[in-house]
Amino acid sequence: MRNNFLNWFFVVEVVLFSLIITGVLPRETALYLGVAFIIYFLMVPIEDSLVFFVRSIPLFLAMPFTADFDNFNVWRILAIIIFLKWFTAKFLIFNPPTGRQFSIKSQFSKLKNLLKPSISPSFFLIVLLLLTVLSIIPAPDKVVAIKRIIFFLNFSLFGIVIYYKAVDKEFTLRLIKNSIIPVVIVAAVGYIQVISTYFIDIYQFMRIWGEGIQCRQFGEQWCNIAVQLGNTWFAYYGEQLSLRVFSLFPDSHSFPQFVLLGIPAVLAITQKRWIRITSLSLLFLITILSGTRGIWAASVGVALLAFTLMWWIKRTAIEKEGGIVFKNITAYLIIFFLAFSVAFPIFSSPQFLIGKSDDILKARIRSILDFGETSNAQRIEIWKKTLSSIKEKPFLGVGIGNYPVVLEQDIRLAKAGSSAHNLYLQIASEMGILAGLIFIWFLWLLFKKNYEVFVREGDKRLGIYFAATLLYVPWILIYSLTDIAIFDERALLMFMFTMALILGRKNSPRDE
């Protein structure tokens, strides 16, 4: 009965979301939908709240509270509700159903154990948080720095609950299964975008998406940035123009990351081989059609990582079943490279009613290693300035959220894409070298934990999931050498979800 209500409520959300972003219903309807979400999350069990939240990641809308404050997304309120419900249940001093009163001392003991420092990935995250707070001191704009910290803490609330709920195998599987839904939705919208380019010109496309859908999704501020200052929705080569698929995301960089992070769930849940191959083919193709060269280039690093892990698995004599699982997961990467043969005619086709030659995809692939190409040259120049800034301010950086000052730009341009175009340099420049090193060490511990969970996981489907995350999480992290698009709300929520499952899953022997 509960699942039926959850499913029907989700259908209502999808319908209302579609009507709001297409302009059939006024944007103010999102406020009423937000209130309905809050009531639902307060009333249903926390497990249902988490499932609904994961399903809805790309569907959450910015709330139009006022004309000047219309970009606050409803998920931030819902994450707080989920956390508070979990926290009060875990550390409840009085239990109404039994009338039993617990000792305050015992509850403080539980809280102390929860926060007890240990040399674990969680410990390094706490240290990173402390360095983040300290980076407020040198920040030119301290308000922006504080807002940025609150922003990341909002994500952590969701991750903390997933982390503790991942102990339950059946619920973990339920979450993984439901995480496929948003991936299917954004991929479907991506294909609709591609098809639309053969029926409308660039100006109509911008009116529909830039001045319409994106405004209703993310607010007027982002809408103005995308239309007036620039976006990543198109690939230009002279007079030739191709769509870079961005689906329901603000840019074509965060979209493919979201899809890639969803693929482990597809591999884990799909049982029939033909369904798995078809699903992966469609997901890989739409990822390529995002035109994000960093994702393409990172695939080479992932392939090398896969071969290295296969060698290590064979060398360490992991039981045969685990080795076969990882080998099969690796084999599916071939589909990604084969999908370029399908992407080629799509990139070369006359989109936006404009003819073009058939060498646009070739040119874009060649440009990956062309350091004189405009985008690459600008990145290299930004990296040089970032390294100079790190050298000048090695301890606490320029302050979290204040990166634009490195490039001598207005801090407000951070929302317009002013960044180091490298996640690791971004962190080191904003919070200091120590913060950058701790973050990298945390990612190494995350990878080690992922491997340990994969090796010892007793459930076949979870074993497949964690085998896949050994490749797809690093794919995102390798790509992050060229961009910081993982900080997009939707991509970061999916990354937080995946990371929390890895860290929260307790090792269970395969023979259990």
Q: In this structure, is the dihedral angle defined by the CA atoms of residues 146, 148, 154 and 155, taken in order, positive or negative? A: negative
Half-sphere exposure of 216 (CA within 13 A, CB side): 22
Residue 235, phi then psi, degrees to nearest 5? -110, 125
Residue 335, phi then psi, degrees to nearest 5? -60, -40
| pLDDT value of residue 510 | 44
Please tell me the distance from the alpha carbon of residue 237 to that of residue 359, in angstroms, as a whole number.
10
User: In sequence order, which ranges of 406-486 are alpha helices (DSSP H)?
Assistant: 423-431, 433-456, 460-479
Amino acid at 363: A
| pLDDT value of residue 348 | 86
Which parts of the chain register pLDDT below 50? 94, 99, 101, 103-105, 508-512
Q: Where are the domains of the chain?
A: 117-512
Q: Which are the contacts of 13, defined by CB distance < 8 A and separation ≥ 6?
A: 33, 56, 59
Structure tokens at 355: 């003819």
pLDDT per residue as tens digits for the range 343-366: 999 988 999 988 766 666 666 666
| pLDDT value of residue 512 | 40
Q: What is the DSSP letter of 505?
A: P
| pLDDT value of residue 367 | 64
| pLDDT value of residue 323 | 87
β-partners of residue 240 are 237
Please tell me the distance from the alpha carbon of residue 357 to that of residue 306, in angstroms, as a whole number.
36
Q: Which are the contacts of 326, defined by CB distance < 8 A and separation ≥ 6?
A: 309, 310, 313, 454, 467, 470
Please tell me the distance from the alpha carbon of residue 487 to that of residue 490, in angstroms, as a whole number.
8
| pLDDT value of residue 360 | 63
pLDDT per residue as tens digits for the range 36-78: 999 999 999 999 999 999 999 999 999 999 988 999 999 999 9
| pLDDT value of residue 321 | 79
Q: What is the DSSP letter of 349?
A: S
Please tell me the distance from the alpha carbon of residue 78 to that of residue 154, in angstroms, as a whole number.
10
> Are residues 151 and 158 in contact, defined by beta-carbon separation less than 8 angstroms?
no
Please tell me the distance from the alpha carbon of residue 120 to that of residue 100, in angstroms, as a whole number.
35
Place of tokens 């489907």: 461
pTM for this model (two decimals)? 0.93
| pLDDT value of residue 434 | 98
Please classify residue 445 by burial: count the beta carbons closer than 10 Å to its beta carbon, then call 0-12 exposed, 13-18 middle and 19+ buried: middle
Please tell me the distance from the alpha carbon of residue 209 to that of residue 318, in angstroms, as a whole number.
50
Structure tokens at 399: 């302050």
Please tell me the distance from the alpha carbon of residue 61 to that of residue 42, in angstroms, as a whole number.
19
User: In sequence order, which ranges of 316-459 are alpha helices (DSSP H)?
Assistant: 320-331, 333-338, 340-348, 360-366, 374-392, 423-431, 433-456
Give the burial string for 48-57 (b: 16+ CB within 10 Å, else e). Answer: bbbbbbbbbb
| pLDDT value of residue 511 | 37
